[in-house]
Amino acid sequence: MKQLLLLALPFFASFTAFAQINLEDSTVQVIGYWDKNETQTYIITNEKYRVSGTDTTQREFVTYEVDITITDSTANSYTIEWLYRNINPGTDNPFARKLAGISENMKVIIKTNEMGAFKEVVNWKEIRDEIKKTTGLLRKEFKHIPQIDEVVAKVESMFSTKEAIQAQAIKDVQQFYTYHGGNYALGEEVNGNLPITNLLGGKPFNSEVTILLDEINAEDNNAILRMWQTIDSKELTDVTYAFLKQNAVKAGTPFPARDKFPTLQNNTTTDARIHGSGWIIFSRETKEVTTEGALAFEERIIEIK
């Protein structure tokens, strides 16, 4: 999907901060030019809601801050700490506030390659153990709430393995590094296919992806990139149908035939303004899952403080 750069890091080091933007051929290379101990703080907002017919339901809203610090750099990688703080869910519900607060002061340590493209979560075991400890306390404190075990188990599953954390629990991290490691030409679409983790289990979904370098601002040393991603509708519908039918059979409830099941669409757009240093200035990801008369909407905004 992305045109990977083949230049060596010593060559990068000889560039100035403007090296990512080449006005002669109107191209941009998204690479991290970061120094050890360098820190930037971001405000992140995440909004979710569902629409059924004309009714909006299940609205969720949370804001938090994250301090992103470059803790180490080598010729081949960066080690980066994400420190989460000031978690503020938009609700007065005590359980919802404490559930959201399990990420307060949590550190996620990641590694990227030399260009700043995400590679892995390093401290996933520590994250898993801390989350399990905290959710265990929540189970005891809110044991009077119906289905508390199911709710907490769902949260724990997001942090149960390295793969689960990288696929489900750090979506803001994945969003942040969407474009790093790529080389883009102004107005030229980059098209390709990308596997997407199937959160219901089974093989990844196929998706079609388009990336566009939409704007170069040489004076301010930044650029705007946009991405559109569409998951294969038939695959998504088939997997969702099988999952829901299996649960219905277990519960002894009737379920419609496959040809009566509505088609699902999953579309994601990601826009970002990126500085020549590789730091994100602003990023917005919007995801819409639609079917007949229904919409599940999610928007995450990452903005430098």
Digit-coded pLDDT (tens) for 254-285: 999 999 999 999 999 999 999 999 999 999 99
In sign, the C-alpha dihedral spanning 150, 156, 162, 167 is positive
Strands 55-73 and 39-52, how do they pair?
A: antiparallel
Amino acid 1: pLDDT? 32
Is 18 a domain residue? no
| Spatial CA neighbour of 17 closest among 38, 37, 39, 33 | 33
CATH of the domain at 139: 2.30.230
- Residue 265 domain-assigned (yes or no): yes
Binned at pLDDT 50, 70 and 90, residue 15 comes out as very low
Question: What does the pLDDT look like over 158-192, one tens digit per residue?
Answer: 999 999 999 999 999 999 999 999 999 999 999 99
Domain count, the chain: 1
Q: How many residues does the chain have?
A: 305
- pLDDT per residue over 52-84, tens digit each? 888 888 889 999 999 999 999 999 999 999 999
| Other CB atoms within 10 A of residue 182 CB | 21
Question: How far is Cα 130 from Cα 124, in angstroms, rounded to an integer?
Answer: 10
Residue 8 within a domain: no
145 belongs to a structural domain: yes
Residue 13 lies inside a defined structural domain of this protein: no
The token pair at 166 is 């990288």
Whether residue 257 contacts residue 270, with contact meaning beta carbons closer than 8 Å, is answered with no
Would you say the C-alpha torsion 226, 63, 220, 34 has a positive or negative sign?
A: negative
116: left (phi over 0), alpha (psi -120 to 50) or beta: left
- pLDDT tens, residue by residue, 111-158: 999 999 999 999 999 999 999 999 999 999 999 998 899 889 989 999
What integer pLDDT is reported at residue 17 of this predicted model? Answer: 34
Task: Give the structural domain span for 30.
Answer: 26-304
Confidence label for 4 from pLDDT (cuts 50, 70 and 90): very low
